[in-house]
Amino acid sequence: MKVPPRSFRRRAKGERMAKYLVTGGAGFIGCNLVRFLLEKDCQVVVLDNFSTGRRENLEEVAGGVELIEGDIRDRSAVDRAVGGCSAVFHQAALGSVPRSVEDPLTSHDVNVNGTVNVLEAARSAGVRRVIFAASSSAYGDQPVSPKRESMPPLPRSPYAAGKVAGEAYMRGYAAVFGMETLSLRYFNVFGPYQDPHGAYAAVIPAFVSKLLAGKPPVVFGDGEQTRDFCYIANVCEANWLAANAPAEACDGRPLNIACEQATSLNQILDQLRKLLNVDVQAEYAHPRPGDVRDSLADVSCAKETIGYEPKVLFAEGLERAIEWYRDCL
């Protein structure tokens, strides 16, 4: 779906735009963040190798960004991308727990070695701040709910382990090199530009695409597992707040980014059937290795540290997402 052109604020004479790098800027979260930054009248550089990101995600904003096609593991590509930037939003990753179970080495190489490469390039270029896309998968299956950042990480998959390693590097670079870093632990982000197709599609777009096609969506497990689903607008706002937080707050600490609402997969299916006006039942399959049972966040630390408040709660976010998918599928 084409998005209408944005109207940008006219800058005062001599005013300088902030310049930011978004790694993985052609991916779901990255391309939404790119649009958000353009609306803030920022200069935006995108680094993406298009292994999972899609060129179509940037089509209508291509004229407003500097696009560098390259891999975060390629130091020369990252060096070119970070030049002149005041901060890096490090969104690039090889996502999906099942994919990491099938191929742990590649998951590690991209998500851990690639992250260190980004940090090193930023440090060499004098970039003051790196905001890392961390993950709620760090908590694993701890029975305590809601999840708080003070809990020890208990990753259940190679993907989760790689994200925890990325957090550790953010803390290490802050402590040793004085870089300003934060790790935003995203909880089940959903919204426009999230790919509904393929073996690793996220649950909401996968459900919507199946229901719209009149086909039964597949639920791994009994469907009573819960997630704290977070609409993409909240994630973009959290990144902006992190980029503008006081320097003393940026010591590599992790921050939960979520809505503090637990919703089961069966509840999502019920809501989707009503919103889409369909009566298609799900097929239930065995749980997948590495999946966690329940996930609910406490976001009080993010509120205190960067002023984060979820503005779009699950029900409203789901309606917005469905409106977008109706036009695209």
Measure the CA–CA gap between 101 and 315, rounded to whole angstroms. Answer: 32
Closest C-alpha among 52, 15, 7 to residue 30: 52
For the CA atoms of 216, 219, 222, 226, the dihedral, rounded to the nearest 10 degrees, stands at: -130
Q: Quick one: tokens of 224? A: 């009573």
Measure the CA–CA gap between 275 and 296, rounded to whole angstroms. Answer: 24
Of 159, 173, 231, 308, the catalytic one is: 159
Which stretch of DSSP H or E encloses residue 80?
A: helix 75-82
Closest C-alpha among 303, 313, 45 to residue 190: 313
Measure the CA–CA gap between 304 and 43, rounded to whole angstroms. Answer: 28
CA atoms within 13 A on the CB side of 21: 32
Residue 85 in contact with residue 91, Cβ under 8 Å? no
3-state secondary structure of 88: strand
How many contiguous H segments (helices) and E segments (strands) does the chain have? 11, 13
Could you write out the DSSP letters of every residue in 148-186? -TTSPP---SHHHHHHHHHHHHHHHHHHHH--EEEEEEE
Measure the CA–CA gap between 273 and 210, rounded to whole angstroms. Answer: 11
Measure the CA–CA gap between 72 and 130, rounded to whole angstroms. Answer: 14
Residue 159 annotated to the active site: yes
100 phi, psi to nearest 5 deg: -70, -30
Please tell me the chain's helix, strand, coil percentages from 3-state DSSP, rounded to the nearest 5.
Answer: 45, 20, 40
- Cα 290 from chain centroid? 19
Mind telling me the catalytic residues? Answer: 159
